[in-house]
Amino acid sequence: MDRILVTGGTGFVGFNLLQQLCKLKSKITATYISETKLKKIHKIINDYFQTDKGYFDKIEWKKINILDSYSLEKLVVGIDYIYHCAALVSFDTKMKKNIMRVNVTGTANIVNSALNHKIKKMIYVSSIATLDKHKKISYDSNITHYGYSKYQAELEVWRGIEEGLNAVIVNPGVILGKTYIKNSATYLYNLTQKNIGIYPPGGTGFIMVEDVVKALLLLKEKETSEKQYCLVAENMSFQRVLKNVAESINKKEPKTKLTKRFLKTLSFFEWILSIFFLSKRILSKGMIKTLTNFTSYDGSIISEKNDFTYTSIEKGIESISKEYLNFKNK
């Protein structure tokens, strides 16, 4: 029986992955760091997964900080496969140091433990935020500090590969899924629910969380010469995605464009507020670039080399909306 470790089991991707892994004949260990988040996961299981509730009993939950290399070494003993999903996701510029520590040093610790215990395979969940890596990336370039941290974490995985680790990196686009766990869709639906009718002019690659999980399961079983996969179902403008969300929950269609000039002005006032009131600062140069540029990604490689089909984003949004409206009407 395979022994599988999932880091970040209470996170969006981690929990969705655990839902499927629990149905396999494997021994599952999942890490968490927050008791509050673990309690929320147990509540979600009770509220939404009554028929499958028994599957989740096989998860062995371990409270581990991935910065604690000693505890991590003990945890990885006997593990066959690692899904490294744990990450600190934040666009608050004041969180730079913490993000680098968790996402880069934490990944280095995972890689080292995987090498030391000769696991069969490690799969690292990165982000399309790193796929400008052919450019020179630094804190001063137009990339979010989160994207920079994931890029540096990828370098740790590549180091591991050079040292003999069997590993694969996946770079999902903006991941959408049911909103009982906070994710990108949560923000889209909350914005649409307010009937403000605004949208940023840019666009990017999107994917449903079910497809991310499907890819992770596939790549565990299949040996391939490819070591990195971009996972993007469709490249869409933010306006189009918000329009699909609005139509599916009968809300106001977004028609007012947020210009780059407006966002830069907003960023300035946000900076002032962050100094005097210690508030979060999110609208960095990198974030404004993300919101105003339309960047396309090619996620076809996994479909070309495997029996893999992406879910259309429009159909995915319809499915999310049904759950969202049912929850609102309770």
pLDDT values of the chain reduced to their tens digit, one per residue, 330 residues: 899 999 999 999 999 999 999 988 899 999 999 999 999 998 888 877 766 667 788 899 999 999 999 999 999 999 999 999 999 987 666 778 899 999 999 999 999 999 999 999 999 999 998 886 444 444 445 577 888 899 999 999 999 999 999 999 999 999 999 887 878 888 888 878 887 788 888 899 999 999 999 999 999 998 888 999 999 999 999 999 999 999 999 888 888 887 777 666 655 445 444 444 444 655 566 677 777 788 899 999 999 988 999 999 999 999 999 888 876 655
Residue 325 lies in a domain: no
Alpha helices in the chain, H assignment, sequence order: 12-21, 35-48, 69-76, 96-100, 106-116, 145-162, 184-193, 209-221, 238-248, 260-277, 285-292, 301-305, 313-329
Cβ(258)–Cβ(200) under 8 Å?
Answer: yes
Q: How far is CA 105 from CA 87, 111, 156, in A?
A: 11, 10, 9
Residue 190 lies in a domain: no
Cα–Cα distance for residue pair 67/94, rounded to 1 Å: 20
The pLDDT value recorded for residue 132 is 63
CATH number at residue 34: 3.40.50.720
Residue 37 lies in a domain: yes
Residue 27 lies in a domain: yes
Cα–Cα distance for residue pair 187/202, rounded to 1 Å: 16
Cα–Cα distance for residue pair 63/31, rounded to 1 Å: 6
Cβ(28)–Cβ(21) under 8 Å?
Answer: yes
Q: Which domain holds residue 39?
A: 2-178+203-233+295-306
Q: Is the dihedral of CA 156, 8, 304, 131 positive or negative?
A: negative
Residue 153 lies in a domain: yes
Q: How much helix, strand and coil, in percent to the nearest 5, is found in the chain?
A: 50, 15, 35
Residue 172 lies in a domain: yes
The pLDDT value recorded for residue 282 is 59
Residue 244 lies in a domain: no
Residue 97 lies in a domain: yes
The pLDDT value recorded for residue 290 is 74
Closest CA to 89 of 194, 211, 172: 172
Burial of 296 (0-12, 13-18, 19+ CB in 10 A): exposed
Q: How far apart are the first and last CA of the chain?
A: 41
Number of structural domains (the chain) is: 1
